[in-house]
Structure 1
Amino acid sequence: MTYPSNGSDAHGIARDQLRQFVERIERLDGEAKDLNDERKDVYGEAKGCGFDVKILKRVVAIRRQDKDQRMEEEAILDTYLAALGMIESPEN
């Protein structure tokens, strides 16, 4: 099947746009991989200095939260732990 010349131009433009999007995504994927590799290296350095990587990752996650979000999460965690008898009830 052949397309009229004006349709071919439109298909060519769409194909070029698609190629550009794919190439940008691939570039970003490469950059993300590089950043993840760097992050892994930093955690490795921290571990080599005696820091607990699991706790360090938790600290980073906590620092990403705003104060209200963190307080709400901690209150829910305390409620659950109290319900399981793992800590004293927060109301006490």
Structure 2
Amino acid sequence: MFDRNSIVQGLQEIDKLKSQVQDVHVPLKVFEYIDEGRNPQLYTKNCMEKALNKNEQVKGKIDSYRKFRAHLLEELSQVFPNETMKYWTSRGDDVNRIP
């Protein structure tokens, strides 16, 4: 059935190699995938998909804030042209590029 000597030798070999992998951190979820008989690479795939989705959401928010800022500055420049010009000048922006 099982050769106890080979198991002991295998465990001793693993113990000798442990110093080479001390800095490797495996998420507990990976072990759960393995225990459930699932491919642990699916964990990585799922994490990557979640990260991509989150990045898309954040990019959308950034784009929305940029559009809002541009629209706000455009409206402010129509209502408060002098103050807006001072704002642009204080930032060191090129006055000719102002929308």
How does the TM-score come out when normalised to structure 2? 0.47
Q: Could you say which structure has the larger radius of gyration? A: 2
How does the TM-score come out when normalised to structure 1? 0.50
